Amino acid sequence: MGKILETINEPADLKNLNPSQLSQLAEEIREFIISTISRTGGHLASSLGAVDFTIALHSVFDSPDDKVIWDVGHQSYAHKILTGRRESFQTIRQMGGISGFPKRSESPHDFFGTGHSSTSVSAALGFAKARDLNGEKHNVIAVIGDGALTGGMAYEALNNAGSQGVDLIVVLNDNEMSISKNVGAMASYLSKLRMEPHFQKIRTDFRSLVKRVPLIGEKLFQTAHLIEEHLTYLVISGVLFEALGFTYLGPFDGHNIKNLKSVFNEAKIMKGPRFIHLLTQKGRGYAPAEKDATKWHGAVPFDIETGNSNHDKGIPSYTEVFSNTIVELAGKDEKIAAITAAMPDGTGLVDFSNKYPKRFFDVGIAEGHAITFAAALAAAGIKPVVAIYSTFLQRAYDQLIHDVCLQNLPVVFAIDRAGVVGEDGPTHHGVFDLSYLRSIPNMVLMAPKDENELRHMLNSAFDYNAPVAVRYPRGKGVGVKMDKELAVLPLGKAELLKKGVDLAIIAIGSMVYPALLAAEKLTFEGIEAAVVNARFVKPLDEELILQVARDCGAVLTVEENVEAGGFGSAVMELINKSSIQKVKVKIKGLPDKFVEHGTLSQLKEKHALNADGIVEEARSLLEFAK
């Protein structure tokens, strides 16, 4: 750790540092972040790019009196280090340690928790309005990335703030990236405008003027394209945000701390909505991350010198299996199209986009639009698959109901990161989807017990001619042998994996193999447990479930989802409606609270979502059933 960094315990400590010291501090923070994340893993590239302007922000403004609201939180690591969490930063994203995202309960400098994109301007507007209602005078600053500007919510907030003339500062961190390369109208806005005849005339006149400069005209002309870039931003970008009611300032070099302090001080004394446009480099200060910011967005532990990780390439992940399967299916059916909301890498659609570019659609951080767009594709005879994380599908619940399921349109949802996801914590755990999906009419909902079954479920989903969701966990598969030929699974049919007479363990998805292991352990205690791989949450295999319930008299359901309204609730409702008497049912899932961050194994052990936990639940159920 550098000597300057050791002296910084709160933002006020920055006030007495000169520009040279602040630049040195930026380098020390980058080294500190790289060193820490190389051991813990975390969001590296985005945080490295935000170091300089974060220092400048905290040098000029007075947190926690002034309120800095961060969007998403991937870029907030320097903020955490500068606001009293330097010593605890080594625990970031570790069980019991600090969060990888802004968190209100963690620090008085974290004013609004965030993990999903495009929320900071809305939140900042709320804080600004509250300030005015309370008769207070502090500044409110929203920090938002250009990737987040592909989300419609950001424009709703900008439009609202600008139309009301609220005293508010928005800082745009423009690195031309979200997680993957930005797409959409905003990303291509400037390049399109450069082709307009009016701008072409400005460009021609500008070049002619530069060439006429005595002595140095020719040399200036050689670099005129750089000046044109600045002119384009200045003339064109400013027009857009001025039209929304903001005073536009920029663009500025987001790594020049001295100049940034001047800009922020100028903005500080202005009134009304101000928009400050910063140009930054994602991954700055670490060559591998500068070269491939997408790869280094979310880093696993790695060797700093080589950039190599210890990631085991043996058993394929569920995401990789999805990727290979959807490419295979699309090769057989030219109607299959794939949609992502700014996550082609994370959801495994890169190969699909390369092989079938005309059938691949990245809509940006716009989940609601993605679902309605998919619904219209389906209505027009295309077979869309929406590849999306469970936590992000929550953002499009109205579209799921209104645009897909109400019209019974055959859209396939490939729901990645279902269940607990580990170190990203409560903003990213996908533990609600079984509950929020199974209540929607017309929805078919299933989860595979392993990566081989995932392949068959994806193949089956396109055969059912209905809205279908296939949810699968983060991480590696089980390691089973993969079938070469794809089958269509009978709709709503479960699989009896083990017979038993004392207890029926009915498991879904990732909990099936732990249930089988638990049944083996129970055998040594003289308890013969039947094990059912439910496969489907909706429709349930009513015949098989009622049969094992009748035969055993005790049913334990197991799911990697919240217990409230999930798979176990569906089984309980089924048994309650049946004529079977005196069946004891116990639901095992996640409790009615937000699950903290930690490794997958730590979280599953803590919440007893493993074989030993299932054994304990089985014993408890049988004791109660006596």
Which residues does the annotation mark as catalytic? Answer: 282, 367, 395
The DSSP call for residue 411 is -
Q: Class of 5-299 per CATH?
A: alpha beta
Task: Give the torsion through C-alpha atoms of 320, 326, 328, 332, to 10 deg.
Answer: 180
- 435: pLDDT confidence band, cut at 50, 70 and 90? very high
CATH of region 318-471: 3.40.50.970
* Predicted local confidence at residue 203, as pLDDT: 45
Domain boundaries, the chain: 5-299, 318-471, 495-625
Angstrom distance (rounded) from CA 560 to CA 610: 10
- 204: pLDDT confidence band, cut at 50, 70 and 90? low
Apex 481 CA angle, 476 and 482, nearest 5: 85
CA–CA distance from 103 to each of 98, 111, 140, 204 (Å)?
9, 8, 17, 51
Question: Which CATH fold would you assign to the domain 495-625?
Answer: Rossmann fold (3.40.50)
Mean pLDDT on 418-424: 94
Among 310, 255, 262, 343, smallest CA distance to 48 is for 255
Q: Out of 67-76, 108-117, 275-284, 291-300, which region has the weakest mean confidence (pLDDT)? A: 291-300
Mean pLDDT on 436-458: 98
What is the distance between the terminal CA atoms of the chain, rounded to a whole angstrom?
62
Angstrom distance (rounded) from CA 532 to CA 541: 10
Give the tokens for residue 212. 């006429």
Comparing 211 with 422, the larger pLDDT belongs to 422
- 200: pLDDT confidence band, cut at 50, 70 and 90? very low
pLDDT tens track for 284-341: 988 888 888 888 887 888 889 888 886 666 899 999 999 999 999 999 999 999 999 9
Angstrom distance (rounded) from CA 458 to CA 321: 10
Burial class (CB in 10 A: 0-12, 13-18, 19+), 313: exposed
Tell me if 318-471 shares its fold with 495-625. yes
pLDDT tens track for 581-595: 889 999 999 999 999
Angstrom distance (rounded) from CA 22 to CA 59: 9
